[in-house]
A and B are shown apart, each in its own frame.
Chain A
Amino acid sequence: MSAAIRIRGLTVRYGPLKALDGISLAAARGACLGIVGESGSGKSTVLRVLTGLAPDWQGEVEVGGRLLAGARRDLAFCRDVQMVFQDPYGSLHPRHTIDAILDEPIAIHRLGDPARLIPQALADVGLPADVRFRYPHQLSGGQRQRVAIARALLPEPSILLLDEPTSALDVSVQAEILNLLMAIQERRGLTAILVSHNLAVVAHMCPRVLVMDRGRIVEELDRDALDAGQVRSPQAIALVAASRHVRSQASNAGR
């Protein structure tokens, strides 16, 4: 299967700190790749490099067969690669209506008629049509994240980057958003990268999971290995223990 995203020897430095230390990975077309790790492990930095939000990096990054350079991304790239951020309270403009927020990608990418596209985009993510003329603060956290997903889907990307899309939400709302993301990913055949600190969330959505620690990929897991608890690296063992709330095993971390 061809890879939609291929990364070789990617290094990112923030001052003396190596946020990413020569990592390599590939995301197969139409599949969902998970990246899990603690804060500071570099998992979000991978997405930031892809989207051009990290100005300085070395290595080789290939998206859809094209090599990327620097932090500039052209319009075609932005149309093809979209991102959903962690905090729907921070990622939507507080003084724009949902209509204005969703109109933005339509105007930028000249997608067509907003009067037709916006109601369709809202319906696609399971939001009622009357949400269109409300402001973000009038919506619940889950509804806001649906708006953020609708905005990301409007340009009909082939790649969707998800940076902790449910960690600001209640577990009951998390279930709704995960169901929505999985349905959309399958229906549209999207390539997705899901970044999260929650191993169970990543394992639920992604057949393949990379475990990161201090800028490196320390283990690659598939669902069978995870289900059987066959993990080797101390980081993965700690994450498995944490997601099962097993006492003592994870207790040495953080001291």
Chain B
Amino acid sequence: MTTPLLEVSGLRVAFPGQDGPREVVRGISFTVGREKVGIVGESGSGKSMTARAILDLIPPPGRVSADRLAFAGEDLTRLRPKERARLRGRRIAMVLQDPRHALNPVMTVGAQLAETFQVHHRLGRGEARRCSIEALDAVHIRDPERVVRLYPHEISGGMGQRAMIAMMLAPGPELLLADEPTSALDATVEAGILETLDELVTARGMGLVLVSHDLDLVAAFCDRVLVFYAGRIVEELPARDLAQARHPYTQGLLACVPRLGERRRELPVLRRDPSWAAS
């Protein structure tokens, strides 16, 4: 196999606490190729911090360390902050949870998208505008000529997230990190957004890391699933084998979700075993 797109080995993220540093990511290792990898876990399991650490977006006083953190064979830990910043957006992009907060509220959708093309592709204004309309069309926004003139508050959450995906894909990144891209959206909009994401990622041969708390969702859209618990990976398995998950935490997460067609008087509750968090 060729060099994986992303190599993470022994990744740790720590924040200072009252009794010394507190690690929120505790020695995580995985690789991502040109495939779709899902990261699932509860809030506080370290899944978002892992995605942020890859992009060098951990705010101070947080500290990141890793045995190896490499993108396309290049050691990220040895790059200067400026060089890291150059990778960000251009070769590794990130879609955030809520388009209502992530988009600039005082710029039209078109202006924000055009800016991406102007910065990354050094296009002129007219050309950038034309590319923006094409990009919105590629994420299946109807009537893109109209939407480019609208402000973020004038479009729906689903449309905002599509515009955001268009913007993140504009520089032609090789790896896309999506941190809960649909959890601020309606359930009925969710599938459509993920399908579009899937379609574009597959067509461009990109790598995708989908961070989500929703195990079913990740299973439906990813090739591989990493299950995070208390800052560690407790289980890694192909998405289609999720039903045969062996770790009690994964099994517990699957069992406690109410599902249509099941009648259970009481939902099984996760009994947390301290040994899951131990190394």
Contacts and interface: CB of A to CB of B under 8 A. Distances in A.
Contacts of B46: none
Interface string A169-181: 0111111101100
Interface in A207-225: 223
Interface stretch (A2-10, A106-114, A155-163, A195-203): A195-203
A235 to B, nearest CB: 8
Interface string B54-80: 000000000000000000000000000
Contacts of A204: 258, 264, 267
A200 B258 contact: yes
Main secondary structure of the interface of B (DSSP, over half): loop
Contacts of B190: 242, 250
B156 A254 contact: yes
Contact of B42 (A39, A172, A235): A172
Contacts of B185: 254
Interface residues of B, number: 43
Interface stretch (B2-10, B30-38, B191-199): B191-199
Main secondary structure of the interface of A (DSSP, over half): helix
Nearest to B215: A171
A245 interface: yes
Interface in B191-228: 191-193, 195, 213-217, 219-220
13 contacts: A171-B213, A171-B215, A171-B256, A171-B257, A178-B267, A182-B265, A199-B260, A201-B258, A229-B260, A244-B259, A245-B220, A247-B220, A248-B191
Given A172-B256, A176-B269, 20 more contacts: A172-B270, A175-B256, A197-B187, A198-B187, A204-B267, A227-B261, A227-B263, A235-B188, A239-B188, A240-B260, A241-B188, A248-B191, A249-B191, A253-B191, A253-B192, A254-B156, A254-B158, A254-B159, A255-B141, A255-B158
